Amino acid sequence: MTRKSRRLWLVGGCLIGLGTATALTLSAFSSNIVFFMAPSQVHAHPPAADRTIRLGGMVVAGSVRQQKNGDTPTNQFDVTDGQDAVTVHYEGILPDLFREGQSVVAIGSVLADGSFRASEVLAKHDETYMPKEVAEALRRSGKWDPRYGKPPDAASWNSMTKTATSQDKAAPQHGS
Amino acid sequence: MTHLPYIVAAYGMTIGLAVILGTGAALRLRRARARLAAIERPSRAERAGGVSAP
Amino acid sequence: MNATPSLAARTGTFFHRYANPGRFLRLGARLQPWLTWPAIGLSVAGIVWGLFLSPADWQQGDSVRIMYVHVPAAWLASSGYMGLAVCSLLSLVWRHPLADLAAVEIGPVGASVTAICLATGSLWGKPMWGTWWVWDARLTSVLVLFFLYLGHIALIRAFDEPQRGYRAAAILGLAGAVDLPIIKFSVQWWNTLHQPDSITLTAAPTMSTDMLWPLLVCTIGFTFGFAAILVARLRAAVMESRVRTALAMRRGRTETQDDAQDSGPDLSGAVA
């Protein structure tokens, strides 16, 4: 029995040691583990001009400009984290989920004038999932505008699902 | 449905793997049970014979 | 120090009483149908519900349906490894023979669900994020989990003497458990492309109930399936090891006495 409890202590000690070592390593490399920098971080610590960074944030409502020259569209939009904003230039097709108010991650580098040239734009969706009717109902009722941030708490609209679908059934002229 | 190829690929992959793992486990269990039965029966008979022989 | 021997002893006795191989065979045979049939029923129901009856997401469209296979696979990848770590602890401290066999069987099944998690995640990421793969903390830590499974599978089979393989793999299995909290909290500790969890213990789910229910049914069904496959494989493994022991004993009786030991996990007690 003493051999068993000695082994238990040994295993426990090793695990605690390993866990501590991992935690220390992760916290030391924390700034490298983050997938993207926020605009305020970019302004606070401007990266070298040719260094590729990932810039993440929300697309500012009303800031999206698109131009078509030839095949590839040229896009310009502002990305914000609520404190600061960076203008992003991107040549190419934006992902399906791209819209005003959506979170995006742009991969590219900062130009001399402080704007950002992206070689790739990824859409980051949030953890909220809701049917189209609910999103429509929220928008119609004025409770949420997707262009200005996250939807309200799920508890506040879960009860709407039934009413929204029954409304749609009652008024089929709304459906396509 | 939008994005149909992606959905079909994801579900096909999952269901395919579940079927492979499930039937694999069932077949292995059946074979192991048969082999164990085949081995245990003669040895038991042998042991019983050994006791009653003298 | 005074309480620990009794804890170690009590835990050991508990597992030896309720998880000895012979008892496990009887329990497993009785348990099997109660795992298999709910697994098939719930998984089929959940998949049909998720694929055809649940609503599409307002911005992701139908691709949100990949969630109903991706999330259960992710949950099983992590909890399967949790099971592997528990088996490793039982093996290292109490030298429990059934825990060794269970660790051998969890490896391939866990690696498979982790592969499914990674592949379906990739298939979801391409249309939504615009990329198959990124090296963010969540995706990378799950890839590490996949490699831990592969390493465990290789290591536990790498030795001629099975006991040494069990010990070595158990150390890897336990050490790898530090990856589990990293996977879980990666989306909170660092900013990632992967979104945070929608379902947490501390807050209400940020998901429409019309999507939550099929997800729940799928998750329970897949979990039953994982357990059913594992129990079937473990029963087969116990039977196979009995066959090996019986063959070795017979060979020992007919030939010499001394080569009976070489095939021996300590399951011989179950045969005699």
Q: Which residues make Cβ contacts (< 8 Å) with residue C204, sequence separation at least 6?
A: A153, A154, A155
- Domains of chain C by residue range: 70-188+209-235
At residue A37, does pLDDT exceed 60? yes
- SS3 string of B11-44? HHHHHHHHHHHHHHHHHHHHHHHHHHHHHHHHHH
Bridge partners, A80 (sequence order)? A58, A85
Interchain contact, C225 vs B35, CB within 8 Å: no
Helix spans in A29-171 (H): 30-33, 39-44, 132-140, 154-157, 160-170
Question: How would residue C182 be classed by pLDDT, with cut points 50, 70 and 90?
Answer: very high
Q: Of B4, B11, B23, which to mutate for an interface test with C (greatest number of C Cβ within 10 Å)?
A: B11
Interchain contact, C204 vs A155, CB within 8 Å: yes
Please check whether residue A15 touches C, CB under 8 A. Answer: yes
Percentage of chain C beyond pLDDT 70 is 86
User: pLDDT per residue over C49-76, tens digit each?
Assistant: 999 998 888 888 888 999 999 999 999 9
Give C192 or C46, the one with higher predicted confidence: C46
- Cβ(A104)–Cβ(A121) under 8 Å? yes
Q: Which helix (H) or strand (E) holds A65?
A: strand A65-68
Interface of B with C (CB under 8 A): 1-4, 6-7, 9-11, 13-15, 17-18, 21-22, 25-26, 28-29, 31-33, 35-36, 39-40, 43
Q: Which helix (H) or strand (E) holds A103?
A: strand A103-110
Question: How would residue B54 be classed by pLDDT, with cut points 50, 70 and 90?
Answer: very low
Residue range B42-53: mean pLDDT, rounded: 51
**What are the chain B neighbours of C229 within 8 Å (beta carbons)?**
21-22, 25
Q: Of A9, A11, A16, A35, which to mutate for an interface test with C (greatest number of C Cβ within 10 Å)?
A: A35
**What are the chain C neighbours of A106 within 8 Å (beta carbons)?**
none
- Cβ(C228)–Cβ(C35) under 8 Å? yes
- Cβ(C93)–Cβ(C170) under 8 Å? no
- Mean per-residue pLDDT of chain A: 79
Complex-level ipTM beyond the 0.85 threshold: no
* B41 burial level (CB within 10 Å; 0-12, 13-18, 19+): exposed
Highest mean pLDDT among A1-10, A19-28, A112-121, C149-158: C149-158
Q: At C271, is the secondary structure helix, strand, or coil?
A: helix
What local confidence, expressed as pLDDT, does residue C1 receive? Answer: 43
Question: What is the interface size between A and C, counted as CB pairs within 8 Å?
Answer: 150
What local confidence, expressed as pLDDT, does residue B31 receive? Answer: 95
- Cβ(C177)–Cβ(C85) under 8 Å? yes
**What are the chain C neighbours of A132 within 8 Å (beta carbons)?**
55-58
**What are the chain C neighbours of B37 within 8 Å (beta carbons)?**
none
User: B41: distance to nearest CA of chain C, Å?
Assistant: 11
Chains with 3 or more CB pairs closer than 8 angstroms to C? A, B
Q: Which residues make Cβ contacts (< 8 Å) with residue C186, sequence separation at least 6?
A: C136, C137, C138, C141, C192, C194
User: pLDDT per residue over C204-262, tens digit each?
Assistant: 788 888 889 999 999 999 999 999 999 999 999 999 988 888 888 888 777 654 444 44
- Give CA–CA dist C102/C15, Å, rounded: 13
Structure token digits, residue C210: 């019309």
